[in-house]
Structure 1
Amino acid sequence: MIRSSCLSVAVAMALACSLPAHAATSAGGDTALPIDLDAVVVVAAAPVSALTFETDPRLPRQPVPASDGADYLKTIPGFTAIRNGGTNGDPVLRGMFGSRLNLLSNDGAMPGACPSRMDNPMSYVSPETYDSLVVIKGPQTVLWGPGASAGTVRFSRDREQFDEPTMKLAGSLLGGSFGRNDQVLDATFGAAPGYARISANRSDSDDYRDGDGNDVASAWNKWNADLALGWTPDADTVVEASAGTGDGEARYAGRGMDGSQFKRESYGLRLEKRNLDGLLDGIETNVFYNRADHVMDNYSLRKTNPNGAMPMPMASNVERTTTGGRFAASWRSDHVEVTAGVDGQDSRHRRRSAHGRGAYRSQPWTTDARFRTVGAFAEANWHIADHKRLIAGARADRAQATDERATLGKMGAPNPTAGRTRHETLTAGFIRFEQDLGDVPLNWYAGIGHTERMPDYWELFSPNMGPTGTPNAFAGVDTEKTTQLDIGLQYRTKRVDAWVSAYAGRIDDYLLFRYHAGGMMGPMSQVTNVDAKIHGAELGVEYRPTRQWKLGGTLAQAWGANRDAGTPLPQMPPLEARLSLAWDNSRWSAGALVRAVAAQDRIAPAQGSVVGQDLGPSAGFATFAVNGGYRFNEKAQLTVGVDNVFDRTYAEHLNLAGNADFGYPADPVRIHEPGRTAWVKLNLTY
C-alpha cells in the first residue's frame, strides 16, 4: 500500500501535468523530443573499457530506485549485497567484501564506524546526488589507493565551467509502496568566475511486507546536503571547496540493534589544472575530511526485549574521523600517457556506550584504533600500434595500525597489545594488454594483477579471537595477498553489444571469520588466515532489432574455495541472470525485467565475514518487474514501475539471520525481501 508517499505522488503528477509539452514535430506529424533521454535502467550498459563500467546514478532504475550506494551497485553484473533489512546493505563484488572493495565518494574515503559495519561506506552515499558511478573490477588499477583486490568504486560529482551566467536545476520526486517517499534537488549557478552547487536529498520508508504479507523491520529515514563552491579563473583551472552533512536512522530485522544516528560531516578542497605546456598534461590534488558519528541502540526504533540477549535499554556511540589527500600529475606524448602521484590518509576510531536511554552521551570517548597509510603510484597507457595498447601500473604503500585498547572483551581482560603499532609495506602492480581487431568490431584484453592488503578495522579489532596461539587478531593475522588473471572481450555493432569477462585468482592469507557458540556471551568470532582460490565470469548482451526495441541480458557467476581445508569459501553469491525487454519511441517507454537466481549449496557453515556468515543452503528464485514511462518534454520524465509483480516470497543467499526481537526463531532464518512494490517517479531538469 502507499502511505505517506501519496503526497509525493500527487505533487509529481501535478508538476508533470503543468509542464508544457514542447517537442519538435516531424514531417509525418509524429512528435519527437529534441534530445534522447535514457529509459529506465534495469541492467548496466556494456563496459566502457576493459573491466570499467560507468553509469549515471540519476537515471530512473528498476527495482525501485536505490536509497544507498550498495543498492545501486547491484545494477552492475557481479555485484550483490549482504541484506539485513530495507537499507544499508553491504556491497559484495564477485564474493569479495569489505576493504577488498575500495569505496570512494568524491575521491575521499568514508569508512564508517560500526564494528559490525552497520554504517558501511555506501550507507553514507545517496546515488542520485552524484553525476557518475565508475567501477573498475579486479586489481587492475593503482590510482585510487591500496588494497582494492576485488575492485574500485567511485561516486563522483562533475565540476563545470561557465562562460555566462547560467542556472541549472535538476530533481526528482518518488513515491511508492510501504511509505516510500524521496525527494532530490540539485541546483547550480555558474558564471565566468566560478560556480555554486547545492545537492540535497531526503529518503523515507516504512517497514515493508514480504510476499506472505509479514511485516519486516526495515524502515528508514535519511537525508544529505552538500555544497560546492568553485573558482574557474580560466578554461583549464578549477579550484573547489566543498562541505556536506547528513543524518538518518534505520531499523534492521537482522541485527540486535538499530541505527538511530548516521551523522556525517564532510569537507574537501580540490585543484585541477589541465592542458599545461610541454609533456606535462595536467595536475590534480585534493584533500578531504570525513567524520561518521554513528549511534546504535535497542530502544529508539524497537521495543527492548526483556527476554533477549540485551534485556535492558542500551546504546553504543562510535565515531570515525578520516582525513587524507591525493596528488597526481599526468604526462602525455604521441603514444604514451602516464599518471603518477602520492596519496595517504589518517583515520581515528573511538567509542562510548552505556545502559539506559541516552546515557551514553554523558560517557567519555575512548580511542581504540588508529590507522595511517602513505603511498606512491604510477600508471601508464602505451599505444603500441593503432589497435594495440599496453596498460601497466605499480604502487607501494607504508601502512600502520595502532591498538589503543586497554582491555579486551566484555570481561575487560588486559590487552597484551595495548599501545602496539603494526607497520607493513604493501606492494601492488598490474599489466594488461588490449587489442582492437581492426576490420571486426571486436576487442579483447588479458591482464594480471597483484595487490597486498592491510587487515582493516573490522578484521583487527572486531573479532573476539585471533588465530590459535595468538593474544588477539591484532597480533595474529597477516596481510592478505591477491594475484588475479582477468580476461575478456567486447563486440559492438549498430545493433548488438556483447561482452564477457572472466577471472581466476589465488589469495594467500585470506582473512576468514569463523563463528563459535559462546553461551551467555553470544557467538564468538575468530579471524584466521587461509589460502584460497577464486574464479568466475560475467557476460552481457544487448540486441536492438529496431530503433525502438531493445533486448538484453546478463549472467554472473562467482566461485571460491578454501585451499587449506578443501572446502567452499563462504559468502559466495549464487549464479544470477537478468533478462530485459524495453520499448521506447522517444515519448513513451515500457519495459520488463526477469531476475533469476539459482540455489546455492556450496557453503561453509559458521564461516564468513564480520557482517555475515553462511546460514545454510539457499533456494533459487525468480522475480518479474515491469515499468513504463512518459516524457513530457526534454525537461520532464515520469516513470512508474512494479517490482516483484507476482508477490513472491524469497530471500537472498547473502543475508543476516532474523533477530529474535522481531519474533524470528532461534534457528537462523533468512530475512525475506519485499513483496509486490509499486512506485512512481518524476525526474525534472531545467
Structure 2
Amino acid sequence: TTRRGARFSVGGTVRIDFVQANAARASDFFLANTDGDLKQKETNFSAAFSAGYRVSEYVSLSAGIGRAVRTPLTLERYSDRFPSTKFQTSAEFLGNPAIKPEASLEFNIGGTVNFRQMRLEADLFVRSIDDYITIVADPSVPRRLPLSPPTVFRYINGTKANFFGFDLKAARSFGKYIDGRASLSYVRAEDKFLNEPVIGIPPMQGIVGLRFHSFIENMYIDLSGEFADEQTRIAVSRFERRTPGYAIFDIRGGYRFTKFASVNAGLKNIGDRFYANHLNSLNPFTGRRVPEIGRNFRVGLELFF
C-alpha cells in the first residue's frame, strides 16, 4: 500500500498451503474402481498483485492479477458413490484419490466514477483454470442405491476452463429523500475438455431499486426489482436443465425508534411469481428445478448493544 493521499497504490499477497489428505477406511469397491493412493500430500502456492490509480477527484482505476490453487474437496477425492448438491442432480458420484488441485490465473480491471450525486462502478475479469475439476458420466460403474438415477459420475481433472464476466453498479441520489441503485452481472464459462459450458453458471442477472427516506428521522421504504435472463448455456452431457428467466419485485421498510432498537418489515415476490434460481437443485421425483418461495411477508425487531 501507499501513503494517504497518494494517486497510486499497490498491494499484494502470497499464500502457501500444505495439504495432507487421507481416508482411514475405504470399501473394496472404491479401492477396485479408483486409482492412486488414499494418502495424498500437496504444497500449493497462490499469489495476487493489485494496483490502483486515482486519475482525478472523480475517477479511479484499478487492475489486478492473481494465481490461486484449490485443493480438491473431500468428496472429490473420496466420495464412494455419494450424492452432491453442487451439480444439481441426485445422481451418485465416485471420487478420485489421485485427483490434482486446480490452478487458476485471473486478470481483472475496474473503475469507479464519482460525480456530483452519482457513483458508477465497473469490473471486468478473465480467468483460466488448468486441471479444472469436473465430472463425467461412467456407465460402467453401478449405482449404490436402487432409487438413485442409473448414471454414476466420476470426478476428474479436465484440461482447462475459461471464464469471462463483468459486474456493473450504479447509484444516484435524487434529492434529499430518494436514492436509486442498479446492478448487472454476467459470467460466461467454457469447459474445454468437454467442449460445452461449465455446469452451474448463473445467467445474466440484475437488481434495480429505489429507497425513500421519510421526513420522519430514521424511517425508510425500499422498492426493488430483481431479474434474471433465461439460461440456455447448459452442460448437456451432465444433464443440466435450462432455466426460464424471471422478474420479481419486493417492498420493505423500517423505523429505528431508539438508538437501541429498530423494527422492519418486508413483502418479497409481490406478484407471487413462480420462479427458480438456476443454481437450485433438481427435484429427484419430478426432474424440475426446486422453485423459490412465493409471496412472503416478514417482520423483524433488531436490538443494538
Once residues 246 and 301 of structure 2 are traced to their aligned partners in structure 1, the CA distance between those partners, rounded to angstroms, is 31
2:185/2:206 contact within 8 Å kept: yes
Distance 1:434 1:463, change over 3 A: farther
- The alignment status of 1:527 with 2:158, answered yes or no, reads no
Aligned to 1:671: 290
- The alignment status of 1:436 with 2:58, answered yes or no, reads no
Q: TM-score, normalised by structure 2?
A: 0.85
Aligned to 1:570: 199
1:516/1:524 contact within 8 Å kept: yes
Distance 1:460 1:413, change over 3 A: closer
2:34/2:96 contact within 8 Å kept: no
C-alpha distance after superposition, 1:605-629 (max 9, x if no partner): 353xxxxxx5311100000111122
2:44/2:69 contact within 8 Å kept: yes
Other structure's SS at 2:236 match: coil
C-alpha distance after superposition, 1:534-554 (max 9, x if no partner): 010111111012122100011
Once residues 192 and 4 of structure 2 are traced to their aligned partners in structure 1, the CA distance between those partners, rounded to angstroms, is 39
C-alpha distance after superposition, 1:505-528 (max 9, x if no partner): 110001002345656473412111
Other structure's SS at 2:289 match: coil
- The alignment status of 1:491 with 2:113, answered yes or no, reads yes
Q: Which has the higher contact order (CA 8 A, sep 6+)?
A: 1
RMSD: 2.6
2:79/2:95 contact within 8 Å kept: no
Once residues 565 and 419 of structure 1 are traced to their aligned partners in structure 2, the CA distance between those partners, rounded to angstroms, is 27
C-alpha distance after superposition, 1:159-206 (max 9, x if no partner): xxxxxxxxxxxxxxxxxxxxxxxxxxxxxxxxxxxxxxxxxxxxxxxx
Other structure's SS at 1:459 match: helix
1:615/1:657 contact within 8 Å kept: no
Q: TM-score, normalised by structure 1?
A: 0.39
Distance 1:513 1:496, change over 3 A: same
Cα deviation for residue 394 of structure 1 reads: 2.0
C-alpha distance after superposition, 1:19-66 (max 9, x if no partner): xxxxxxxxxxxxxxxxxxxxxxxxxxxxxxxxxxxxxxxxxxxxxxxx
Cα deviation for residue 398 of structure 1 reads: 2.2
- The alignment status of 1:445 with 2:62, answered yes or no, reads yes
Aligned to 1:582: 211
1:515/1:524 contact within 8 Å kept: yes
C-alpha distance after superposition, 1:359-385 (max 9, x if no partner): xxxxxxxxxxxxxxxxxxxxxx34598
- Aligned positions of 1:249-268 closer than 5 A: none
- The alignment status of 1:547 with 2:176, answered yes or no, reads yes
C-alpha distance after superposition, 1:446-469 (max 9, x if no partner): 11101222212121112649xxxx
**Percent of aligned pairs with the same residue?**
22
Alignment-mate amino acid for residue 267 of structure 2: V
Other structure's SS at 1:674 match: coil
- Aligned positions of 1:227-306 closer than 5 A: none
Once residues 632 and 457 of structure 1 are traced to their aligned partners in structure 2, the CA distance between those partners, rounded to angstroms, is 49
Once residues 418 and 446 of structure 1 are traced to their aligned partners in structure 2, the CA distance between those partners, rounded to angstroms, is 40
Once residues 49 and 170 of structure 2 are traced to their aligned partners in structure 1, the CA distance between those partners, rounded to angstroms, is 27
Unaligned ranges ≥5, structure 2: 83-93
- Aligned positions of 1:336-355 closer than 5 A: none
Aligned residues: 285
Aligned to 1:638: 263
Once residues 461 and 420 of structure 1 are traced to their aligned partners in structure 2, the CA distance between those partners, rounded to angstroms, is 8
Distance 1:644 1:393, change over 3 A: same
Unaligned ranges ≥5, structure 1: 1-380, 466-470, 608-613
Distance 1:384 1:529, change over 3 A: farther
Question: Greater shift after overlay, 567-576 or 509-518?
Answer: 509-518
Cα deviation for residue 631 of structure 1 reads: 2.8
- Aligned positions of 1:403-442 closer than 5 A: 403-409=23-29, 420-438=38-56, 440-442=57-59
Cα deviation for residue 636 of structure 1 reads: 2.6
Cα deviation for residue 419 of structure 1 reads: 6.9
Once residues 643 and 416 of structure 1 are traced to their aligned partners in structure 2, the CA distance between those partners, rounded to angstroms, is 48
Other structure's SS at 2:76 match: helix
Other structure's SS at 2:275 match: coil
